[in-house]
Amino acid sequence: MKLQDKVALITGAGRGIGAATAIKFAQEGATIVACDIHEDAVQQTLHDCRAAGATAIGIAADVTDRSGMDRAVESILDRFGRVDILVNNAGITRDARFEKMTEAQFDAVINVNLKGVFNAAQAVVPSMIGQGCGVILNASSVVGLYGNFGQTNYVAAKSGVIGFTLTWCRELGPKGIRVNAVAPGFIQTPMLDSVPDTVLTRMSDQVPLRRLGQPEEVANLYAFLASDEASYINGAVIEVTGGLRI
Protein backbone atom coordinates (compact mmCIF):
# COMPACT_ATOMS: atom_id res chain seq x y z
CA MET A 1 0.00 0.00 0.00
CA LYS A 2 1.34 3.40 -1.08
CA LEU A 3 0.44 5.42 2.01
CA GLN A 4 0.87 2.94 4.85
CA ASP A 5 1.18 4.69 8.25
CA LYS A 6 0.87 8.21 6.78
CA VAL A 7 -1.48 10.70 8.43
CA ALA A 8 -3.41 12.68 5.81
CA LEU A 9 -5.50 15.82 6.33
CA ILE A 10 -7.93 16.44 3.49
CA THR A 11 -9.98 19.63 3.40
CA GLY A 12 -13.44 19.66 1.83
CA ALA A 13 -13.65 15.90 2.32
CA GLY A 14 -17.43 15.73 2.62
CA ARG A 15 -18.09 15.05 -1.03
CA GLY A 16 -16.73 15.13 -4.56
CA ILE A 17 -12.98 14.92 -5.14
CA GLY A 18 -12.19 15.38 -1.43
CA ALA A 19 -14.33 12.39 -0.41
CA ALA A 20 -12.89 10.24 -3.23
CA THR A 21 -9.36 11.22 -2.18
CA ALA A 22 -10.00 10.34 1.47
CA ILE A 23 -11.34 6.91 0.44
CA LYS A 24 -8.45 6.26 -1.97
CA PHE A 25 -5.90 7.25 0.70
CA ALA A 26 -7.69 4.95 3.17
CA GLN A 27 -7.41 2.08 0.68
CA GLU A 28 -3.69 2.86 0.42
CA GLY A 29 -3.22 2.50 4.18
CA ALA A 30 -3.31 6.13 5.37
CA THR A 31 -4.91 7.41 8.56
CA ILE A 32 -7.54 9.90 7.44
CA VAL A 33 -8.50 13.24 8.94
CA ALA A 34 -11.49 14.41 6.91
CA CYS A 35 -12.14 18.12 7.30
CA ASP A 36 -15.24 19.97 6.18
CA ILE A 37 -17.19 23.00 7.38
CA HIS A 38 -19.76 20.77 9.06
CA GLU A 39 -18.63 17.57 10.76
CA ASP A 40 -21.80 15.71 9.74
CA ALA A 41 -20.85 16.37 6.10
CA VAL A 42 -17.99 13.87 6.43
CA GLN A 43 -19.90 11.00 8.05
CA GLN A 44 -20.33 9.04 4.81
CA THR A 45 -16.66 9.62 3.92
CA LEU A 46 -15.58 8.33 7.34
CA HIS A 47 -17.83 5.30 6.99
CA ASP A 48 -16.28 4.47 3.59
CA CYS A 49 -12.71 5.03 4.87
CA ARG A 50 -13.31 2.78 7.88
CA ALA A 51 -14.87 0.15 5.61
CA ALA A 52 -11.52 0.16 3.77
CA GLY A 53 -9.86 -0.69 7.08
CA ALA A 54 -8.47 2.77 7.88
CA THR A 55 -8.49 4.82 11.05
CA ALA A 56 -10.53 7.89 10.12
CA ILE A 57 -11.72 10.91 12.08
CA GLY A 58 -13.73 13.95 11.08
CA ILE A 59 -12.91 17.54 11.94
CA ALA A 60 -15.27 20.47 11.53
CA ALA A 61 -13.17 23.38 10.32
CA ASP A 62 -13.68 26.21 7.88
CA VAL A 63 -10.49 26.80 5.89
CA THR A 64 -11.16 30.54 5.91
CA ASP A 65 -10.86 30.57 9.72
CA ARG A 66 -7.13 30.72 10.44
CA SER A 67 -7.34 30.12 14.20
CA GLY A 68 -9.87 27.32 13.62
CA MET A 69 -7.40 25.62 11.25
CA ASP A 70 -4.62 26.01 13.82
CA ARG A 71 -6.84 24.40 16.47
CA ALA A 72 -7.77 21.58 14.06
CA VAL A 73 -4.11 20.81 13.36
CA GLU A 74 -3.26 20.96 17.08
CA SER A 75 -5.95 18.38 17.77
CA ILE A 76 -4.57 16.10 14.99
CA LEU A 77 -1.06 16.41 16.44
CA ASP A 78 -2.41 15.59 19.93
CA ARG A 79 -4.15 12.51 18.55
CA PHE A 80 -1.70 11.17 15.93
CA GLY A 81 1.55 13.08 16.60
CA ARG A 82 2.09 14.13 12.98
CA VAL A 83 0.58 15.27 9.69
CA ASP A 84 2.35 13.73 6.70
CA ILE A 85 0.06 14.86 3.90
CA LEU A 86 -2.16 17.91 3.44
CA VAL A 87 -4.57 17.94 0.51
CA ASN A 88 -5.82 21.49 0.07
CA ASN A 89 -9.00 20.45 -1.70
CA ALA A 90 -11.82 22.66 -0.29
CA GLY A 91 -13.18 24.97 -2.96
CA ILE A 92 -16.27 26.85 -4.08
CA THR A 93 -17.51 28.68 -7.17
CA ARG A 94 -19.47 31.95 -7.40
CA ASP A 95 -19.53 32.52 -11.15
CA ALA A 96 -20.46 35.74 -12.95
CA ARG A 97 -19.19 37.70 -15.90
CA PHE A 98 -16.53 40.22 -14.92
CA GLU A 99 -18.81 43.28 -15.34
CA LYS A 100 -21.45 41.69 -13.12
CA MET A 101 -19.29 40.00 -10.49
CA THR A 102 -20.03 41.40 -7.03
CA GLU A 103 -17.42 42.10 -4.41
CA ALA A 104 -19.08 39.45 -2.22
CA GLN A 105 -18.69 36.82 -4.99
CA PHE A 106 -15.06 37.81 -5.52
CA ASP A 107 -14.21 37.79 -1.80
CA ALA A 108 -15.97 34.49 -1.05
CA VAL A 109 -14.02 32.58 -3.70
CA ILE A 110 -10.67 34.20 -2.90
CA ASN A 111 -11.20 33.49 0.81
CA VAL A 112 -11.92 29.79 0.44
CA ASN A 113 -9.91 28.85 -2.66
CA LEU A 114 -6.81 30.98 -2.10
CA LYS A 115 -6.61 32.19 1.50
CA GLY A 116 -7.96 28.84 2.73
CA VAL A 117 -5.01 27.09 1.06
CA PHE A 118 -2.62 29.56 2.72
CA ASN A 119 -4.30 29.03 6.12
CA ALA A 120 -4.26 25.25 6.06
CA ALA A 121 -0.69 25.07 4.76
CA GLN A 122 0.60 27.52 7.37
CA ALA A 123 -1.15 25.50 10.06
CA VAL A 124 0.60 22.22 9.11
CA VAL A 125 4.02 23.43 7.95
CA PRO A 126 5.66 23.94 11.38
CA SER A 127 5.05 20.30 12.33
CA MET A 128 6.17 19.09 8.87
CA ILE A 129 9.39 21.11 9.23
CA GLY A 130 9.84 19.62 12.72
CA GLN A 131 9.51 16.06 11.39
CA GLY A 132 11.72 16.88 8.37
CA CYS A 133 9.22 15.67 5.76
CA GLY A 134 5.74 16.21 4.40
CA VAL A 135 3.67 16.58 1.26
CA ILE A 136 1.32 19.43 0.39
CA LEU A 137 -1.03 18.99 -2.56
CA ASN A 138 -2.99 21.99 -3.80
CA ALA A 139 -6.21 21.88 -5.84
CA SER A 140 -5.76 24.17 -8.81
CA SER A 141 -7.78 23.79 -12.01
CA VAL A 142 -7.31 23.75 -15.74
CA VAL A 143 -8.92 27.21 -15.70
CA GLY A 144 -6.06 28.45 -13.53
CA LEU A 145 -3.78 27.72 -16.50
CA TYR A 146 -5.95 28.94 -19.37
CA GLY A 147 -8.61 31.28 -17.89
CA ASN A 148 -12.37 30.81 -18.22
CA PHE A 149 -15.40 32.87 -19.11
CA GLY A 150 -17.40 33.95 -16.02
CA GLN A 151 -14.76 32.89 -13.50
CA THR A 152 -12.55 35.93 -12.76
CA ASN A 153 -12.57 35.11 -9.03
CA TYR A 154 -12.09 31.35 -9.40
CA VAL A 155 -9.38 31.67 -12.06
CA ALA A 156 -7.49 34.21 -9.94
CA ALA A 157 -7.58 31.84 -6.98
CA LYS A 158 -6.60 28.76 -9.00
CA SER A 159 -3.73 30.65 -10.71
CA GLY A 160 -2.72 31.92 -7.28
CA VAL A 161 -2.58 28.36 -5.98
CA ILE A 162 -0.08 27.57 -8.74
CA GLY A 163 1.95 30.56 -7.52
CA PHE A 164 1.84 29.17 -3.97
CA THR A 165 3.02 25.80 -5.26
CA LEU A 166 5.97 27.26 -7.20
CA THR A 167 7.01 29.39 -4.23
CA TRP A 168 6.55 26.82 -1.46
CA CYS A 169 8.41 24.15 -3.44
CA ARG A 170 11.45 26.44 -3.31
CA GLU A 171 11.02 27.48 0.32
CA LEU A 172 10.02 24.11 1.75
CA GLY A 173 11.86 21.67 -0.54
CA PRO A 174 15.13 22.12 1.38
CA LYS A 175 13.18 21.17 4.54
CA GLY A 176 12.00 17.87 3.08
CA ILE A 177 8.51 19.02 2.13
CA ARG A 178 7.26 18.45 -1.42
CA VAL A 179 4.56 20.75 -2.79
CA ASN A 180 2.61 20.05 -5.98
CA ALA A 181 -0.59 21.22 -7.62
CA VAL A 182 -3.24 19.23 -9.44
CA ALA A 183 -5.22 20.91 -12.21
CA PRO A 184 -8.40 18.95 -12.95
CA GLY A 185 -10.57 19.61 -15.98
CA PHE A 186 -14.33 18.99 -15.82
CA ILE A 187 -14.92 16.45 -13.05
CA GLN A 188 -18.38 15.05 -12.29
CA THR A 189 -18.98 16.24 -8.71
CA PRO A 190 -21.70 18.23 -6.92
CA MET A 191 -19.71 21.36 -7.91
CA LEU A 192 -21.13 20.87 -11.43
CA ASP A 193 -24.72 20.31 -10.18
CA SER A 194 -25.73 23.87 -11.04
CA VAL A 195 -24.45 23.53 -14.62
CA PRO A 196 -27.31 22.82 -17.08
CA ASP A 197 -27.22 19.44 -18.90
CA THR A 198 -26.81 21.12 -22.28
CA VAL A 199 -23.70 22.91 -21.03
CA LEU A 200 -22.35 19.66 -19.50
CA THR A 201 -22.78 17.94 -22.87
CA ARG A 202 -20.94 20.80 -24.58
CA MET A 203 -18.18 20.55 -21.97
CA SER A 204 -17.81 16.78 -22.54
CA ASP A 205 -17.65 17.32 -26.30
CA GLN A 206 -14.67 19.65 -25.81
CA VAL A 207 -12.70 16.89 -24.08
CA PRO A 208 -10.66 14.65 -26.42
CA LEU A 209 -11.75 11.63 -24.34
CA ARG A 210 -15.39 12.80 -24.87
CA ARG A 211 -16.47 12.49 -21.25
CA LEU A 212 -16.27 14.25 -17.90
CA GLY A 213 -13.71 13.00 -15.39
CA GLN A 214 -14.64 11.06 -12.26
CA PRO A 215 -13.50 12.17 -8.77
CA GLU A 216 -11.60 8.89 -8.38
CA GLU A 217 -9.46 9.78 -11.41
CA VAL A 218 -8.21 12.87 -9.56
CA ALA A 219 -7.88 10.95 -6.29
CA ASN A 220 -5.57 8.44 -8.03
CA LEU A 221 -3.17 11.26 -8.92
CA TYR A 222 -3.30 12.70 -5.39
CA ALA A 223 -2.44 9.25 -4.00
CA PHE A 224 0.54 8.91 -6.33
CA LEU A 225 1.82 12.42 -5.57
CA ALA A 226 1.38 11.88 -1.83
CA SER A 227 3.37 8.64 -1.94
CA ASP A 228 7.11 8.00 -1.92
CA GLU A 229 6.77 6.90 -5.56
CA ALA A 230 6.63 10.64 -6.35
CA SER A 231 9.71 11.40 -4.23
CA TYR A 232 11.39 13.56 -6.91
CA ILE A 233 8.23 15.40 -8.04
CA ASN A 234 8.17 18.88 -6.54
CA GLY A 235 6.71 22.18 -7.79
CA ALA A 236 4.75 20.42 -10.54
CA VAL A 237 1.32 21.34 -11.84
CA ILE A 238 -0.23 18.17 -13.22
CA GLU A 239 -3.38 18.23 -15.34
CA VAL A 240 -6.15 15.62 -15.06
CA THR A 241 -8.27 16.78 -17.95
CA GLY A 242 -8.71 13.99 -20.48
CA GLY A 243 -6.63 16.22 -22.80
CA LEU A 244 -8.86 19.30 -22.53
CA ARG A 245 -7.42 22.71 -23.42
CA ILE A 246 -9.97 25.41 -22.71
- The catalytic site residues sit at 154
Residue 156 interacts with ligand NAP (CB under 6 A): yes or no: no
Among positions 11, 151, 165, 234, the unique one binding ligand NAP when judged by CB under 6 A: 11
Residue 33 interacts with ligand NAP (CB under 6 A): yes or no: no
Backbone angles phi, psi at 231, to 5 degrees: -60, -20
Q: Which of 5, 199 has the CB closer to ligand NAP?
A: 199
Calculate the CA 1 to chain-centre distance: 21
For residues 243 and 208, the answer to whether their CB atoms sit within 8 Å is yes
Cα-based distances in Å from 218 to 133, 189, 240: 23, 11, 6
What is the contact mask toward ligand NAP in residues 104 to 133, using x (rule: CB under 6 A)? --------x---x-----------------
Calculate the CA 146 to chain-centre distance: 19
How buried is residue 198: exposed, middle or buried, by Cβ count under 10 Å (0-12/13-18/19+)? exposed
> What is the closest distance, in whole angstroms, from the C-beta atom of residue 228 to ligand NAP in the complex?
24
- Part of the chain binding ligand NAP (CB under 6 A), chosen from 35-43, 96-104, 129-137, 163-171: 35-43
Residue 239 interacts with ligand NAP (CB under 6 A): yes or no: no
Closest CA to 44 of 61, 19, 11: 19
For residues 228 and 30, the answer to whether their CB atoms sit within 8 Å is no
Among positions 77, 129, 191, 195, the unique one binding ligand NAP when judged by CB under 6 A: 191
Q: Which of 149, 173 has the CB closer to ligand NAP?
A: 149
Residue 62 interacts with ligand NAP (CB under 6 A): yes or no: yes
b vs e for 209-218, b when ≥16 Cβ sit within 10 Å of the residue's Cβ? eeebbebebb
Q: Which of 13, 125 has the CB closer to ligand NAP?
A: 13
CA-CA-CA-CA torsion sign (16, 17, 18, 24): positive
Q: Which of 81, 199 has the CB closer to ligand NAP?
A: 199
Residue 189 interacts with ligand NAP (CB under 6 A): yes or no: yes
Q: Which of 11, 227 has the CB closer to ligand NAP?
A: 11
How buried is residue 174: exposed, middle or buried, by Cβ count under 10 Å (0-12/13-18/19+)? exposed
> What is the closest distance, in whole angstroms, from the C-beta atom of residue 17 to ligand NAP in the complex?
4
Q: Please give the residue ranges that form the binding site for ligand NAP (CB under 6 A).
A: 11-12, 14-18, 36-38, 41, 62-64, 89-92, 112, 116, 139, 141, 184, 186-187, 189-192
